[in-house]
Amino acid sequence: MRVSTSQLFDRGINNILNGQGELSDTQQRLASGKKLLRPSDDPVGASKVIRLTEELDQIKQFQRNNELLTGALKEQEAVMRNINEAVTLARTKAIQAGSGAMTPESRAAIGVEIAQIRDQVFDLMNSKNAAGEYIFAGYQSKSPAFAYDPSATGNKYYFQGDEGTTSYQLSPSVQMQGNDSGKSVFEDVFARLKASVTGTTAADASMTISEQNDLDRFHKQNYDALTPANNDFQLEVSPAGDQVTITNVGTGANLGTFNYTPGEPFTFNGMQFTIDGAPGDTVDFSLSPPEKKNLAQTLDDFFVALDDPDISQQDFLSALDDAIIGMDNGLGALGAATSGVGGRLNVSAAVYSSNLDLEISTKEARSVVQDVDYAKAVSDLSRQETALQAAQATFSRVTSLSLFDYVR
pLDDT tens digits, 121-134: 999 999 999 889 99
Are residue 72 and residue 207 in the same domain, yes or no?
A: no
Cα–Cα distances in angstroms (integers) from residue 48 to residues 29, 42, 171, 172, 228, in the given order: 19, 10, 21, 20, 70
The number of folded domains in the chain is 2
Residue at 248 is within a domain: yes
Are residue 303 and residue 283 in the same domain, yes or no?
A: no
Final residue before a domain boundary, out of 262, 287, 312: 287
Under a CB-based contact definition with an 8 Å cutoff, are residues 139 and 162 in contact?
yes
Residue at 369 is within a domain: no
Are residue 278 and residue 230 in the same domain, yes or no?
A: yes
| Model confidence, pTM | 0.78
Q: CA angle, 259 as apex, 253 and 262 as ends, to 5°?
A: 110
Residue at 378 is within a domain: no
Are residue 267 and residue 164 in the same domain, yes or no?
A: no
Are residue 183 and residue 301 in the same domain, yes or no?
A: yes
Are residue 220 and residue 257 in the same domain, yes or no?
A: yes
Are residue 253 and residue 314 in the same domain, yes or no?
A: no
CATH number of the domain to which 83 belongs: 1.20.1330.10
- Structural domain including 153 reads 55-191+297-357
Final residue before a domain boundary, out of 287, 316, 335: 287
Residue at 43 is within a domain: no
CA 350, 355, 360, 361 dihedral sign is: positive
Residue at 373 is within a domain: no
> What is the DSSP code string of 190-233?
B----EEEEEESSSEEEEEES-HHHHHHHHHHH--SS-GGGGEE
pLDDT digits 0-9 by tens, 353-380:
999 999 888 888 876 666 565 556 556 5
Cα–Cα distances in angstroms (integers) from residue 80 to residues 86, 178, 245, in the given order: 10, 14, 48
Residue at 258 is within a domain: yes
Are residue 89 and residue 231 in the same domain, yes or no?
A: no
pLDDT for the residue 66: 95
Q: Give Cβ neighbours of residue 187 (< 8 Å, ≥ 6 apart).
A: 158, 159, 292, 294
pLDDT digits 0-9 by tens, 232-284:
999 999 998 899 999 999 999 999 999 989 989 999 999 999 999 899 999 99
**CA contacts within 13 A on the Cβ side of 82:** 16
Are residue 165 and residue 302 in the same domain, yes or no?
A: yes
- Percentage of the chain lying above the pLDDT 90 cut: 62
Final residue before a domain boundary, out of 287, 313, 343: 287
Sorting pLDDT into bands at 50, 70 and 90, what band is 17? low
User: What three-state secondary structure class fits 250?
Assistant: coil
Residue at 45 is within a domain: no
Are residue 163 and residue 105 in the same domain, yes or no?
A: yes
pLDDT over threshold 60, residue 201? yes
pLDDT for the residue 392: 57
Cα–Cα distances in angstroms (integers) from residue 254 to residues 125, 243, 247, 248, 250, in the given order: 46, 14, 4, 7, 11
Q: Residue 387: how many CB atoms within 10 A of its CB?
A: 15
Are residue 174 and residue 261 in the same domain, yes or no?
A: no
Helix axes 5-32, 374-399, angle to 10 degrees: 160
Residue at 42 is within a domain: no
pLDDT over threshold 80, residue 385? no
Are residue 153 and residue 213 in the same domain, yes or no?
A: no
pLDDT over threshold 70, residue 339? yes
